[in-house]
A and B are shown apart, each in its own frame.
Chain A
């Protein structure tokens, strides 16, 4: 009988440190599957962010650099400019990419840097302990918005896929989620597509992945999935925002 399920070669045997119900593990796996299927592990360099995925390099089996908070797109630019043959991706959360790293992602995208960004949006700062993020929903309680996010004071959550799509240069911008199997299949396809565009040296590519954080949302994993589907997805619509011509 043939083998029908196996661990991607691009994933290591280490157990992750992620909380129960967190979707980082699923997203890591999809990235690893795409890298295996494209046969690019030996020329891939990942950039780990500051945030829950800071130790991502422990879970993959290829080269990694570790960025400062928000600066991964600048590092990816540096690598890709001096080694265009390498496949480079940044893996960033919402505090990292949409707050402190807003400048770096906009300019890297606008220059059309030919790397890939996996943007994990769970509407909260994870590793620092559940503080408000630029993508935190109105009235969502966090450790720095204990009464719920007051949008009168803090503005409305930033929709990064839409914002980046307003730029002319970036080639591939999509928003996906991994909270249910039907979504995971589509997210996998999008992630593989993003890497494929890079392999073809075509364009900047970004996959926003709406994710869960049961620990910092104060929910069970199942409630977190329901909340993501009923609260996040209506505000952060899934789909392809930009595709290369």
Chain B
């Protein structure tokens, strides 16, 4: 298929349809409202369901209901909206339903701002809602990668019967880039007769299916949490994705950075190289599961003196980076969280100062 020039938000909406997801519920919020605007026209054309809910709270449960009934379904939102959906996300994870959530992060806390941010890292990777659950979190660094991650998210959500989150930032949603929608990433929804409330007649069964997260018996609840943990442990083995950059050079410093921020860091690395300073980068494409071993091993090589976690937050991912490195190298954070993306110049200055 030929490349087309598309805005990130619209490409995300189109990607879901191309992936085989024809059900979308959403509530408008800047900077991702274009997804809903695009799909309000496109979903009916494709024979799908579009509904603007009355709040993100309600939308979260529309997703839960639809996913519980066995449908492929997704929503998009931005930070304050995702906070409101987090109640439902906890229930969906507890009841083990597949669904896809896209968070085009804006600045926070509170109303924050409408410019790009990565300050929802903790919310996405450590919980957000209550209880012991995890999301499979993917972080695109371009519109093309956002498209591919959205398309891959649906089969992954079904493989694990768990919500998947695409964690973008305002820039990924708002910028226009050339994209193509790989036909190979289209997938058929899996058979859900074993558990979904799709109606007993639909599956020729007289056995009731229940979609629930209440387990009053302590052993039953512990067993459910163990089953969830087993899935998250399996994700750590099978789903870690990252991109190395300049890792075969004799680098003195390692950067860990993701999403839009990692694009700036590539420029930093290229510029420093021309000045004779070698720096490498690990760009996590999955934030949960986190590329723990790759980061540890890259930091552990001789010659690497320091590790930087560069992120558009006040120091969230840096805690995971420190966890991976186990004290073997100093780890420093650098970032901004007001909506300005740090420039190559200021990052280069920080790195040179420390080396």
Per the 8 Å Cβ criterion, residues 66-112 of A in contact with B are 66-68, 71, 74-79, 81-83, 85-86, 103-104, 107
Q: How far is the CA of A115 from the CA of B200 in the complex (A)?
A: 18
Do residues B210 and A63 form an inter-chain contact, with CB atoms below 8 A? yes
Given A54-B214, A57-B210, A77-B65, A64 and B58 touching (CB < 8 A)? no
A50 to chain B, nearest CB (A): 9
Choose one: B23, B91, B95; the contact of A82 (CB below 8 Å). Answer: B23
Per the 8 Å Cβ criterion, residues 71-108 of B in contact with A are 71, 73, 87-88, 91, 95
B1 to chain A, nearest CB (A): 28
Do residues A82 and B69 form an inter-chain contact, with CB atoms below 8 A? yes
- Give the contact-size bracket for chain B: 35 or more
**Nearest chain B residue, comparing its CB with the CB of A104:** B58
Q: How far is the CA of A55 from the CA of B49 in the complex (A)?
A: 31
Contact stretch, chosen from A37-45, A203-211, A215-223: A37-45
* Chain A residues whose CB sits within 8 angstroms of the CB of B353 once the complex forms: none
* Chain A residues whose CB sits within 8 angstroms of the CB of B118 once the complex forms: none
A65 in the interface, Cβ–Cβ < 8 Å? yes
Do residues B200 and A75 form an inter-chain contact, with CB atoms below 8 A? no
* Chain B residues whose CB sits within 8 angstroms of the CB of A67 once the complex forms: 61
Do residues B49 and A81 form an inter-chain contact, with CB atoms below 8 A? yes
A87 to chain B, nearest CB (A): 8
* Chain B residues whose CB sits within 8 angstroms of the CB of A55 once the complex forms: 214
Given A79-B66, A104-B54, A64 and B199 touching (CB < 8 A)? no
Do residues B208 and A64 form an inter-chain contact, with CB atoms below 8 A? yes
Most chain A CB within 10 A, of B49, B60, B69, is at: B69
* Chain A residues whose CB sits within 8 angstroms of the CB of B259 once the complex forms: none
Do residues B65 and A79 form an inter-chain contact, with CB atoms below 8 A? yes
Do residues B64 and A62 form an inter-chain contact, with CB atoms below 8 A? no
Inter-chain residue pair count (beta carbon < 8 A): 130
* Chain A residues whose CB sits within 8 angstroms of the CB of B25 once the complex forms: 78, 81
* Chain A residues whose CB sits within 8 angstroms of the CB of B199 once the complex forms: 42-45, 63, 83, 85-86
Per the 8 Å Cβ criterion, residues 191-206 of B in contact with A are 197-202
Do residues A62 and B88 form an inter-chain contact, with CB atoms below 8 A? no
Given A63-B210, A81-B66, A83-B71, A71 and B23 touching (CB < 8 A)? no
Given A64-B212, A65-B211, A86-B199, A74 and B69 touching (CB < 8 A)? no
B48 to chain A, nearest CB (A): 9
Q: How far is the CA of A63 from the CA of B206 in the complex (A)?
A: 10
* Chain A residues whose CB sits within 8 angstroms of the CB of B62 once the complex forms: 74-75, 77-78, 81
B127 to chain A, nearest CB (A): 16
* Chain A residues whose CB sits within 8 angstroms of the CB of B197 once the complex forms: 45, 63-65, 79
A61 in the interface, Cβ–Cβ < 8 Å? yes
B224 in the interface, Cβ–Cβ < 8 Å? no
Q: How far is the CA of A74 from the CA of B88 in the complex (A)?
A: 11
Do residues A107 and B54 form an inter-chain contact, with CB atoms below 8 A? yes
B57 in the interface, Cβ–Cβ < 8 Å? yes
Most chain A CB within 10 A, of B23, B63, B199, B208, is at: B199
B8 in the interface, Cβ–Cβ < 8 Å? no
B304 in the interface, Cβ–Cβ < 8 Å? no
B128 to chain A, nearest CB (A): 15
* Chain A residues whose CB sits within 8 angstroms of the CB of B49 once the complex forms: 81-82
* Chain B residues whose CB sits within 8 angstroms of the CB of A104 once the complex forms: 54, 57-58, 61
Which positions in A face B, CB cutoff 8 Å?
41-45, 47-48, 54-55, 57, 60-68, 71, 74-79, 81-83, 85-86, 103-104, 107
Other CB < 8 Å A-B pairs besides A63-B199, A75-B62, 9 of them? Answer: A42-B200, A65-B68, A71-B60, A71-B88, A77-B53, A78-B63, A78-B69, A79-B68, A79-B69
Which positions in B face A, CB cutoff 8 Å?
23, 25, 49, 51, 53-55, 57-71, 73, 87-88, 91, 95, 197-202, 208-214
CB-defined A-B contacts under 8 Å, sample of 8? A64-B212, A65-B64, A74-B53, A74-B61, A74-B65, A78-B63, A81-B66, A82-B23
